[in-house]
Structure 1
Amino acid sequence: MKIGILSMQHVINYGSFLQAYSLKNAIEKLGDNCSFIDIKPGKQINPRQREILQSKITRLHGNIIKKAKLRRYISKRETLFKTKFFPILDIEEKKINYDVIVIGSDEVFNGTQQCAWGFTEQLYGKGLNAPTVISYAGSFGATTLEKIYHYHIEKPIGENLRKLNAVSVRDQNSADIVKTLCGFEPEQHIDPTLIFDFTELEPPKINDDNYILIYGYDNRIKEKKIIQKIQEIAQKEKLKIISAGVWQDWCDKNILVTPFELLAYFRNAKYVVTDTFHGTVFSIKQNRPFVTILRDSNTEKLYDLLRRFNLTDRSVTLDDDLYQKLNETINYEEVNKIIEKEKEKSIAYLRKYLA
């Protein structure tokens, strides 16, 4: 069978890359040929557009040297993705008559986000020419029912999703939206990075040891209380503070890595502090001591992810004792059992519609 994946494979983001790589390879392990479909831009329904790079640089509060370093870092990362990482995915769109198209995973349903393609009905299935169209672990991200009704896009979303052969989401907010707009309960599945084994792709050795790994969007982990607590832990245990793949100007080192090296940095970290979905996923996957910083902008999807693996106690706020949290034992034996069960469920779902 010829399978097409409509995803966010062009986004310069390690989580987006690894989820696309995982889903593609998981499908190909089932014996099918698989390639990517590009997103066709829609309309910009959110008027508050911003220049992403500029917002990151502005957070440096006028420090000219740090701004220059960040510009170079972002430019080099973009070059690496376009010249080294994207070719691994083989994302050049091909003109193929697909038997099945899979929408997902990642935040493909996040129609109110500020992004290059805006709100496009294609991501909900419109215009996809294949006998079978399904989604896998799709997420509405920060898009809520309130936002959907505010921008008057409930009708196209509901009408398009109802036409899919099957709808799979990765979180409860997305499931609630589908149920409200479509009238049925979608299936829920884990992120594809949790169903793929990267062991043979991860480098056995990396250039650093004895470190705390920080993983968050560029310069987003900037709360003084959090930074001070991390620095105190590092000083107490004689650890470096490393940000890999993303820039945090207060860290000891900001390094650029391949997606597979990033997983190795998670694997070898003494502790991980993150505020992202995939940072939490990679910490769980690599069975590391970690905490996830919750904010108003990410609480829904991150708390839901932690709840699924009985790890809600890994969430932290500014006033929590970070050191105590990081040293509380995580029962990864039970967590891994949940992952294996969810993995079997996910593979069975894909096999059902790709057979």
Structure 2
Amino acid sequence: MNTASFPPDHRGKEVLISTLYPLGGNYGGLAQAYALQEVIRGLGFSVRTIDSAGKFSSGRVAARKIRRLLRERITRQQLPLELDETRTASVQESTRRFVRERMRTIDLFGLSRARRDVTLQQTHAIVVGSDQVWRGGYADVRQQLLDYAVGHDLIRMSYAASFGADHLVRYSPRLIAQSARLARAFDAISVREDTGVDLCARHWGVQADHHVDPTLLLKVEDYRSLIETSPEPVTRRSGGIFVYVLDRSESANAVVHDLERSLGLESFDILPPPARSLTSFDRQPGRFRMKPVEAWLAAFADADYVVTDSFHGTVFSIIFNKPFIALGNRSRGLARFRSLLASVGLEERLFDSESFPGTLPPDPDWSRVNERVAAGRELGLHYLMRLLNDRRCS
């Protein structure tokens, strides 16, 4: 990226990115965090992404356990085990390697209060986003609205931040009031979904811009370069149906089988199986290890077709120009899919796995889709350049 238009005195200024953390457990979350860091670094700034361990109160831990039990009863499926720190590190060995080797991070909340204040005093801007940073239950909303930076003279902004739904999820009246006060202190707010613009106006009384996910700010060549420079072996495939479905169900499996028959292709996936017991995990820990991020990207690059219920699975199908169907995942939020697909004119590719008609939509007009992606990329880059080039904090 050409940064020649930036004044020399802006190069090296420290920018922090605040997304969902800790990093490592989700391919899409890693991809968007990497992309935003790469873009801001390309604009000439020194940039680090906050990567602190999640800290939950006993009440929140209990609430998570209750929600887990309810979900198991509703779906009638045993959910994967919640692993301890050591076993989680084993599962995320390759994805955490990606964080260490491909990104610059800071454990901001592992610092003492005094050291954190010194870091914030030296910070030019904090960019919140992307991902579902303003979805209650997924993140500490107040923290993702920079309550810890009150009193510091720095640029507060978001980029493609997401509420994860078309309504406020798990916001109490008190949290709505607190979050509105914090949001009004931002210099600029950018959201990922068109519904987020309305939520910001209605509940926070602030104007928000609508921008594409950070992964779309990079080009397909950038991701191919990651695959080609992977420090770990990456299995390449000669086509097939890439199944990237986070919530496998009988109906989702039926859709995959229908596609195999109609397309005459075999399906493959790369997600490790869920661990059902600690005994089985400890007997074969490598079986449950996530593949490298580069292998995940290669699966999109090599596939003939993609089936996914993941937002970022849909994004990377678009980036690699692969025909796909997106299975609506109501529990994870449909607003994200609808907004993304509408922005590139591919609304007809969103289906409910419970009522999949079996008839595939025609392949996309990729030249038209790519034009829309390029236009969104330009708007996003212009927004970041304009805000980060603010000299207030010089």
TM-score (ref. length: structure 2):
0.75
- Alignment of 1:138 with 2:161, yes or no, is yes
- Check whether the contact 1:9–1:91 (CA below 8 A) recurs between aligned residues: no
Structure 1 residues 57, 268: closer, same or farther in 2, change over 3 A?
A: farther
Q: Tell me the equivalent position of 1:70.
A: none
Are the counterparts in 1 of residues 124 and 155 from structure 2 also a CA contact under 8 Å? yes
Q: Tell me if the contact between 2:255 and 2:356 (Cα under 8 Å) persists in the aligned partners.
A: no
With the length of structure 1 as denominator, give the TM-score of the two structures.
0.82
What is the aligned partner in structure 1 of residue 348 from structure 2? Answer: 313
Is this contact kept in 1: 2:134–2:161, CA < 8 A? yes
* Aligned partner of residue 316 in structure 2, secondary structure: helix
Shift of residue 201 of structure 1? 1.5
Stretch moving more, 258-267 or 333-342? 258-267
Looking at structure 1, the residues matched to 357 and 288 of structure 2 have their Cα atoms a distance apart, in angstroms, of 25
Instruction: Give 1:161-176 correspondences, 5 Å limit.
Output: 161-176=183-198
* Maintained 8 Å contact 1:141/1:301: yes
For residues 98 and 177 of structure 2, the distance between their equivalents in structure 1, rounded to whole angstroms, comes to 40
Q: Output the amino acid matched with 1:194.
A: L
1:292 counterpart (283, 306, 326): 326
Does 2:192 correspond to 1:180? no
Q: Distance in 2 between matches of 1:55 and 1:235?
A: 35
| Amino acid aligned to 2:14 | K
Task: Give 1:268 shift.
Answer: 1.6
- Name the amino acid aligned to 2:45: D
Note closer, same or farther for the CA distance 1:185–1:62 as it changes in structure 2 (3 Å cut): closer
Q: Call closer, same or farther: CA 1:246–1:341 in 2, change over 3 Å.
A: farther
Q: 1:125 aligns with which of 146, 154, 172?
A: 146
CA contact (8 A) 2:242 2:268 kept: yes
Query: CA separation in 1, counterparts of 2:38 and 2:68?
Result: 32
State how 1:235-250 maps to structure 2 within 5 Å: 235=261, 237-245=263-271, 247=273
Show the counterpart of 2:178. 156
Q: 1:19-69 CA distances to partner (integer Å, 9 max, x unpaired)?
A: 111000100111111012346757666963139999999979579xx99xx
In 2: Cα distance, 1:159 partner to 1:281 partner: 33
Residue pair 2:37, 2:48 contacting (<8 A) in 1 also: yes
Distance 1:348 1:336, change over 3 A: same
Q: Please tell me the residue identity of whatever aligns with 1:105.
A: S
**Gap change, CA 1:254 and 1:45, over 3 Å in 2:** closer
Residue 207 of structure 1 aligns with an amino acid whose one-letter code is: R
Per the alignment, in what secondary structure is the counterpart of residue 310 of structure 1?
Answer: coil
Decide which of 18, 25, 29 is 2:31's aligned counterpart.
Answer: 18
Mapping of 1:63-74 within 5 angstroms? none
| C-alpha contact 1:242 1:254 (8 A) present in aligned 2 | no
- Cα deviation per residue 1:250-272 (whole Å; 9 max; x = unaligned)? xxx99943222212211221111
1:216 to 221, 229, 245: 245
Distance in 2 (alpha carbons) for counterparts of 1:262 and 1:77: 15
**Aligned with 1:5 (options 8, 11, 17):** 17
Corresponding residue for residue 33 of structure 1: 46
Displacement of 1:308: 1.3
Paired with 2:17 and 2:27, the residues of 1 have a C-alpha distance of 18
* Aligned-partner Cα distance in 1 for 2:88–2:268: 17
Q: Which amino acid aligns with 1:227?
A: N
Q: Which runs of 5+ in 1 are unaligned?
A: 68-72
Measured at CA, do residues 351 and 84 of structure 1 come closer, stay the same or move farther in structure 2, by a change above 3 Å?
Answer: closer
* Structure 2 counterpart of 1:260: 294
Deviation at 1:210, TM superposition (A): 3.0
User: 8 Å contact 2:146–2:182 — kept in the other structure?
Assistant: yes
Alignment deviations for residues 95-149 of structure 1 (CA, whole Å, 9 cap, x no partner): 6310111111111111x22x5xx5341201222234211000000114723742x
| 1:353 is aligned to 2:353 | no
Q: What's the C-alpha RMSD, in Å, of the aligned pairs?
A: 3.4
- Contact in 2 for aligned 1:179/1:186 (Cα 8 Å): yes
**Comparing 43-52 with 96-105, which one deviates more in the overlay?**
43-52
> Contact 2:94–2:293 (CA<8 Å) still a contact in 1?
no
* Structure 2 equivalent of residue 344 of structure 1: 378
Structure 1 282/55 Cα, relative in aligned 2: closer, same or farther at 3 Å? farther
The superposition leaves residues 216-261 of structure 1 with CA deviations (integer Å, 9 ceiling, x where unpaired) of: 22xx121x23312322432454533212245489xxx999432222
Between the aligned partners of 1:259 and 1:76, the Cα distance in structure 2 is: 15
Q: 2:64 aligns with which of 49, 56, 65?
A: 49
Work out the CA distance in 1 between the residues paired with 2:51 and 2:67: 22
Q: Structure 1 residues 310, 168: closer, same or farther in 2, change over 3 A?
A: same
| Equivalent position amino acid for 1:157 in 2 | S
Gap change, CA 1:306 and 1:236, over 3 Å in 2 = closer
Equivalenced residue count is 336
Percentage of matched positions with identical amino acids: 22
Structure 2: runs of 5 or more not aligned: 1-12, 82-86, 109-115, 276-286, 390-394
From 170, 195, 214, give the equivalent of 2:217: 195
Shift of 1:80: 2.3
CA distance in 2, matches of 1:243, 1:54: 27
CA gap of 1:311–1:92, structure 2 versus 1, over 3 A, is: same
